[in-house]
Amino acid sequence: KAPKAMATHVGAGGETHQTAGEGTPAMTTQQGLAVSDDQNTLRAGARGPALMEDFHFREKIFHFDHERIPERVVHARGYGAHGYFELTDSLADVCKADLFGKVGERTPAFVRFSTVAGNKGSADVVRDVRGFAVKLYTSQGNWDLVGNNIPVFFIQDAIKFPDFVHAAKQAPDRDFPQAQTAHDNFWDFVSLSPEATHMVCWAMSDRAIPRSFRFMEGFGVHTFRLINAQGKSTYVKFHWKPKLGLQSVVWNEALKINGADPDFHRRDLWQAIKTGNFPEWELGVQLFDDAFADSFDFDILDPTKLIPEELVPVRRVGRLVLDRMPDNFFAETEQVAFCTQNVIPGIDFTNDPLLQGRNFSYLDTQTKRLGGPNFTHIPINAPKCPFANFQQDGHMAMHNPKGRANYEPNSWSQPAGGPRETPAGYTSYPEEESGPKLRQRSETFADHYSQARQFYISQTPVEQTHMRDAFVFELSKVETPAIRARMVSHLLHVDTELAQGVATGLGLSPLPAPAPAARPVVEGLEP
Ligand code: HEM
């Protein structure tokens, strides 16, 4: 529809003035004062100096000067959409969360997809992990499932996260690369961290160059707990399975796409949703108990390991549909704050050392990124169920306690007395804990190669070739020969042909000795 013609006039200098009225709202300052001229600063004489008194100019420029907020320290480049989660198979026997109780029940959702290493303005189709963060606005509070498109992670303990991210992002002296894994620091760090081998294999696979967000899987990565109405705990791994299936591009396509359209993934999501092709994922759960956890070769608390789907099939219990783009990118996608510690009754943590560290990190960083402790007052972050507490003040406080009381217990009757505790509120799973206080990794975390090997041999020959070529391409950008050789020394534990192929591609001869392995490779499930 063509916009309604607006009254216009040309100013003394030939500039265009469009006038409010007949359905066109009047422009005002932030104080609500109607603006008569937005084309000219206040000056002493038409050709004279600008006047300090021009409050409209100063307010406008002041606001513009403050438009940028710090980008996320990781996952800076992202794109989000609204939608809903609908339950298709009740989990009421194992989980007391309302959203998992009644089949057909819908829960509003907001999802943000992201790359990890690139800055906010970097390209979409780079070789990288993708974030898959889901905020579920449940009737019992917000539950955030802050996952990735790869089911495992590079490190086992959150204390290594700053080192990993520093090594993966720009080097401090040269400030490049912005978005690629191809540099010495990244490969130096991962080759000195045998625990990264499994994830590095995924990162060198086709999974790391998805066709679009719509063709990606998502994973909660950590083992979480579901708690039922009787207080019984069941371990769970969360999966998102794309309705369109899994698709990637190949490397030379990725390079061309990035050159032609660095916004390829965000444009794809925008166009799909705007044309009514709503992307959809199934929520899958792998459920298992303590007996399985104890019998499994790997530690279920170790985020560099997955639970093979052959051992514990993925049960599909619901669908996630994205059907609405944000009205405003900044207000919603940029200001949304996901956090692993946002859980609801029925969902609980395990002692995965990476998860425990994440539970601290997100709130801490968002307090800085979003300017203080009140970012849950921003509509995208606020729960959609009733909420009330005695937290008050701070920068940008939008809702403070009403009435006299800002503490409890108190003697004041309602409504002045404010909110109180409820027995139906969140209680943590009473896991028994004991043991000496130590800085020591569990020896159950020591097998760094068996699952990397299983992953490699589960790939088709074409995919294996892509992996080998990716290792060769990325490592060929590494200038330090010792780092290349060290990486190949790990690959010798994954697959000798892969290691040999990479060494040949790099012109590395003779082959280095295999890296010292804390645990021998276990030949596990063959696909
Ligand atoms: C951001 C996933 C590990 C710290 C994110 C985001 C995702 C994500 C998806 C983007 C959220 C968004 O779209 O706004 C993961 C996964 C991990 C992992 C799956 C491992 C399994 C960690 C660890 C830490 C960490 C170990 C720190 C100890 C952060 C921080 C942000 C972030 C600081 C930026 C948050 C913000 O500014 O809003 N992560 N992450 N992550 N992650 Fe992680």
Q: Two tokens at 114?
A: 């992201």
Ligand 1 centroid to Cα of residue 296, in Å, is 28
**To the nearest whole percent, how much of the chain has pLDDT over 90?**
94
DSSP codes of every residue in 216-239? --EE--S-EEEE-TT--EEEEEEE
Whole-prediction pTM value? 0.96
Distance CA 91, CA 234 (A): 11
CB 253 within 8 A of CB 126: no
Per-residue pLDDT, averaged over 92-106, amounts to 98
ipTM of the complex model: 0.93
E-assigned strands of 36-92? 78-87
Predicted confidence (pLDDT) per residue in 19-43, tens digit: 999 889 999 999 999 999 999 999 9
Q: Which of 362, 371, 313, 308 has its CA nearest to residue 339?
A: 362
Atom of ligand 1 at shortest range from CA of 155: 26
Please give the pLDDT value at position 527.
Answer: 36
Q: Of 183 and 18, which is predicted with more confidence?
A: 18
Please give the pLDDT value at position 22.
Answer: 86
Report the nearest-CA residue for atom 15 of ligand 1. Answer: 147
Ligand 1 centroid to Cα of residue 18, in Å, is 45
Q: Catalogue the long-range contacts made by 466-471 (C-beta closer than 8 Å, 24 or more residues apart).
A: 466/205, 466/206, 466/250, 466/251, 467/201, 467/204, 467/205, 467/498, 468/498, 468/501, 468/502, 468/505, 469/251, 469/505, 470/127, 470/204, 470/205, 470/208, 470/251, 471/204, 471/498, 471/502, 471/505
Q: What are phi and psi of 4, to 5 degrees?
A: -60, 140
Q: Helix, strand or coil for residue 426?
A: coil
CB 207 within 8 A of CB 155: no
Predicted confidence (pLDDT) per residue in 179-195, tens digit: 766 689 999 999 999 99
Atom of ligand 1 at shortest range from CA of 222: 21
Residue keyed to tokens 């006047």: 51
pLDDT band at 157 (very low <50, low <70, confident <90, very high): very high
pLDDT band at 2 (very low <50, low <70, confident <90, very high): low
Q: Helix, strand or coil for residue 260?
A: helix
Query: What is the maximum span of the chain, computed from C-alpha positions, in angstroms?
Result: 85
174 annotated to a ligand binding site: no
Per-residue pLDDT, averaged over 327-341, amounts to 98
pLDDT band at 309 (very low <50, low <70, confident <90, very high): very high
Strands 78-87, 141-148: pairing kind = unpaired
CB 331 within 8 A of CB 133: no
Catalytic residue among 148, 149, 185, 342: 148
Distance CA 222, CA 350 (A): 8
Report the nearest-CA residue for atom 32 of ligand 1. Answer: 74
Q: Best substitution site from 72, 74, 134, 305 to test ligand 1's pocket, by max atoms within 8 Å of Cβ?
A: 74
In angstroms and rounded to an integer, the radius of gyration of the C-alpha atoms of the chain is 27
Predicted confidence (pLDDT) per residue in 31-87, tens digit: 999 999 999 999 999 999 999 999 999 999 999 999 999 999 999 999 999 999 999
Instruction: Assess whether pLDDT exceeds 50 at residue 231.
Output: yes
Q: Catalogue the long-range contacts made by 32-39 (C-beta closer than 8 Å, 24 or more residues apart).
A: 37/11, 39/11, 39/15
- 75 given a catalytic annotation: yes
112 annotated to a ligand binding site: yes
Beta-bridge partners for 148: 131, 219
Instruction: Assess whether pLDDT exceeds 80 at residue 221.
Output: yes
DSSP codes of every residue in 263-285? THHHHHHHHHHHTT---EEEEEE
Ligand 1 binding pocket (C-beta < 6 A) is 72-75, 78, 112, 114, 131, 133, 146-148, 153, 158, 161, 221, 303, 336-338, 354, 357-358, 361-362, 365-366, 369
Instruction: Assess whether pLDDT exceeds 60 at residue 526.
Output: no
Please give the pLDDT value at position 520.
Answer: 77
CB 48 within 8 A of CB 55: no
pLDDT band at 521 (very low <50, low <70, confident <90, very high): confident
Q: Which of 238, 190, 162, 183 has its CA nearest to residue 448?
A: 190
Q: Give first-to-last CA distance, the chain, whole Å.
A: 56
Average pLDDT in the chain: 96
Ligand 1 centroid to Cα of residue 382, in Å, is 20
Report the nearest-CA residue for atom 31 of ligand 1. Answer: 74
Other beta carbons less than 10 A from residue 169's beta carbon = 23
Predicted confidence (pLDDT) per residue in 443-489, tens digit: 999 999 999 999 999 999 999 999 999 999 999 999 999 999 999 99
